[in-house]
Amino acid sequence: MALDPRRTEAYFALMEAGGLLQLLMEEQCQRDGDISYLQFFLLARLAQAPGGRMRMTELADTVVHSRSGLSYQAGKLEKAELLRREPSPGDERSVTAVITEEGRRRLEQVLPGHVSVVERGMFDVLDDEQAAALAGTLGVVRDRLRTLVPSSAERRRRARD
């Protein structure tokens, strides 16, 4: 069974656009903040979280990354004093990541270039109606995919079994 030509075109366009945008983001984050795009994404998610903190398992699910890979990146950010890890309140087995003031400063350093890349790479070529349609469409797809991809905790349980 194959996708019809329009769906095939949509799929490949999405994958290529995402890959190209990620390359631009990676270059910009390295240039402006000496961090990777994934590290920027982690800091941005933490900055948006209440109190600038999130359990590592939630963070892994939010950024769609393995727990071991996230731990590695968190270690690099911790060494650079951009975040710290601490035991989660009420659950000594869990770890919470917390963005530091230096992490917030680095995020603010990288953010203007990030916004510029997003505007130039995506939204300059779309009118408001197209941007709204894209947001709605990708939101529906993302929500569907979230139901199909197991959480990082579930993936870890499956790997042990």
Write down the pLDDT at residue 25: 95
| Spatial contact of 57 and 153, defined as CB atoms under 8 Å apart | yes
Residue spans of the domains in the chain: they are 9-160
Write down the pLDDT at residue 90: 79
Write down the pLDDT at residue 119: 96
User: What average pLDDT values come out for the chain (161 residues) when binned by 10 residues?
Assistant: 90 95 96 95 95 90 76 93 91 89 98 96 96 95 87 62 66
The CA–CA distances, whole Å, from 17 to 7, 8, 110, 128 equal 15, 14, 22, 19
Write down the pLDDT at residue 71: 87
Write down the pLDDT at residue 101: 98
| Spatial contact of 43 and 83, defined as CB atoms under 8 Å apart | yes
| Spatial contact of 109 and 133, defined as CB atoms under 8 Å apart | no
CA distance 97 to 109: 20
Write down the pLDDT at residue 157: 61
CA distance 87 to 40: 23
Query: Would you tell me how many other CB atoms lie within 10 Å of the CB of residue 26?
Result: 15
Write down the pLDDT at residue 156: 60
The DSSP bridge partners found for residue 88 are: 91
CATH class of 9-160: mainly alpha
Quote the pTM value: 0.82
